[in-house]
């Protein structure tokens, strides 16, 4: 199986033929065998496996030849194929255009509406949780474990203000914690979301998402979360 193809001379690999000119661009007409490959400017390859004559008709504008959409035209028992391709008519391929990556927003500490002390004064559940967490963390800090310290630092940085607002991240943490059925984690994120000024309805809706994802086994943890929200929001 063979195909006669007209392509830019600078883009052809592994085939022979003769050069010609069309509309200011240098082309080459070649006879390609069944598994010959033309290497396109995008790095992709076209392999010709079809029976008949393959013809690529082009319109040249601004130095770029744009090939027509794929179509098949039966002529004298042969099929003519037109492929949708783009290629430069210059001797050197044009560099690929890459849009500049969006610069990530600088991370910063979130601005809290309430302090931990204010939260502890408002909710007995929150007070017990915060005191227990501080006491247990003191033992962890005393061990001076480099792996634990690095993980704590990673956790802290993940919840800073960034492309996603800190409020959104805390609600994401609340959903994940409920799905994982971790009461301490639920309290932690619910308290931080409250401190950031997240309304109660948003916390409740987030817990509804967790219930749908986690299933009925989340319900006991949902009850305790609602108890905390009742004390915080009244």
Place of tokens 């069944």: 34
Q: Strand pairing of 25-32 and 17-22?
A: antiparallel
Out of 27-31, 171-175, 196-200, least confident range: 27-31
pLDDT value of position 106 = 81
Q: Which residue has the tokens 């130095």?
A: 63
* DSSP state letter for 62: T
Asked whether residue 209 carries a pLDDT value surpassing 60, the answer given is yes
The answer to whether residue 30 scores a pLDDT higher than 70 is no
User: Distances in Å between the alpha carbon of 159 and those of 44, 108, 150?
Assistant: 41, 9, 15
In the predicted structure, residue 52 carries a pLDDT above the cut 50? no
- Please say whether the beta carbons of 69 and 82 come within 8 A: yes
Structure tokens at 189: 């994120």
- Which residue, among 72, 52, 73, 37, has the nearest Cα to 4 in the 3D structure? 52
Number of C-beta neighbours around residue 57 at 10 A: 11
Q: In which element (H, E) is residue 99 found?
A: none
Average pLDDT over residues 166-173: 98
| pLDDT at site 59 | 37
* Whether the predicted pLDDT of 36 surpasses 60: no
* pLDDT at position 100: 67
Q: What is the pLDDT of residues 91-125, one digit of tens each?
A: 555 556 667 666 666 889 999 999 999 999 999 99
178 close to 210: Cβ distance less than 8 angstroms: yes
pLDDT digits (tens, 9 = 90+) for 120-132: 999 999 999 999 9
Handedness of CA 106, 107, 113, 115 (dihedral sign): negative
- The tens digit of pLDDT for each residue in 72-84 reads 344 433 433 333 3
What are 2-24's pLDDT values in tens digits? 444 444 444 434 433 333 333 44
Average pLDDT over residues 224-229: 98
If you average pLDDT over every residue of the chain, what do you get?
A: 73
Q: Which domains does the chain have, with CATH numbers?
A: 3-88 (no CATH), 116-233 (1.20.1290.10)
- Section 35-57 average pLDDT: 39
pTM of the model: 0.58
42 contacts: CB under 8 Å, gap ≥ 6? 96
């Amino acid at each position: 199986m063979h195909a006669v193809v007209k392509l830019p001379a600078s883009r052809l690999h592994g085939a022979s033929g003769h050069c010609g000119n069309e509309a200011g661009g240098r082309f080459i007409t070649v006879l390609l065998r069944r598994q010959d490959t033309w290497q396109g400017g995008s790095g992709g390859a076209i392999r010709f496996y079809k029976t008949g004559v393959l013809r690529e008709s082009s319109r040249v504008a601004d130095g770029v030849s744009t090939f027509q959409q794929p179509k098949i035209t039966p002529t004298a028992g042969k099929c003519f194929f037109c492929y949708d391709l783009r290629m430069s008519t210059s001797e050197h391929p044009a560099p690929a255009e890459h849009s500049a990556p969006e610069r990530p927003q600088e991370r910063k500490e979130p601005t809290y509406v309430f302090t931990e002390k204010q939260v502890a004064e408002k909710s007995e559940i929150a007070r017990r949780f915060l005191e227990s967490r501080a006491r247990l963390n003191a033992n962890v800090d005393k061990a001076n474990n480099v792996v634990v310290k690095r993980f704590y630092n990673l956790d802290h940085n993940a919840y800073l203000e960034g492309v996603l607002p800190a409020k959104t991240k805390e609600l994401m943490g609340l959903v994940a914690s409920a799905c994982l059925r971790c009461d301490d984690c639920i309290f932690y994120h619910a308290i931080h979301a409250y401190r950031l000024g997240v309304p109660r309805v948003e916390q409740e809706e987030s817990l509804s998402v967790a219930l749908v994802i986690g299933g009925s086994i989340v319900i006991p943890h949902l009850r305790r979360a609602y108890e905390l929200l009742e004390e915080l929001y009244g």
